[in-house]
Amino acid sequence: MGIAISGSSFGGVVFPIMLNRLIEQRGFAEATRSTAYLCTGLMAIALLCMRTRLPPRNKVPRPTHGEEAPSPPPAVLDLLKDTKYMITIAAFVNILGIFTPIFYMQLYAVNHNVDWTLALYLLTMLNAGSIIGRIAPNFIGDIWGPFNTIIVCTIACAVLVISLLAANDAAGIIVVAVLYGIFSGAHISLISPLFASLSRSISEIGIRLGLTFTVVAFAGLACTPIMVALLTDELKWNRPIGLSAARPLFSSF
Domain positions in the chain: 75-252
Q: Is 1.20.1250.20 the CATH number for 75-252?
A: yes
At 68 the three-state DSSP class reads coil
Residues 6+ apart with CB under 8 A from 98: 157, 184, 187, 188, 223, 244, 247, 248
Amino acid at position 132, single letter = I
Q: What is the pLDDT of residues 94-116, one digit of tens each?
A: 888 888 888 889 999 999 989 98
- Crossing angle, helix 238-252 and helix 146-163, to 10 degrees? 160
Q: What is the pLDDT of residues 163-213, one digit of tens each?
A: 998 888 899 999 999 999 999 998 888 888 888 888 777 777 888 888 888
CA 175 to each of CA 155, 166, 168, 169, 205: distance values in angstroms, whole numbers, following the listed order: 17, 12, 12, 10, 37
10 Å Cβ neighbour count for 30?
Answer: 12
Q: Are 203 and 212 in contact (CB under 8 A)?
A: no
Write down the pLDDT at residue 30. 92
Write down the pLDDT at residue 206. 80
Write down the pLDDT at residue 146. 85
Write down the pLDDT at residue 33. 93
**H-helix or E-strand containing 73?**
none
What burial class does residue 152 get, using C-beta atoms within 10 Å of its C-beta: 0-12 exposed, 13-18 middle, 19+ buried? middle
Spell out, as residue ranges, where the chain has pLDDT lower than 50: none
Q: Residue 105 and residue 125: Cα distance in Å, rounded? A: 11
Write down the pLDDT at residue 124. 92
Write down the pLDDT at residue 7. 83
Is the torsion defined by CA of 190, 191, 197, 203 positive or negative? negative
Is the torsion defined by CA of 138, 141, 142, 143 positive or negative? positive
Q: Are 112 and 169 in contact (CB under 8 A)?
A: yes
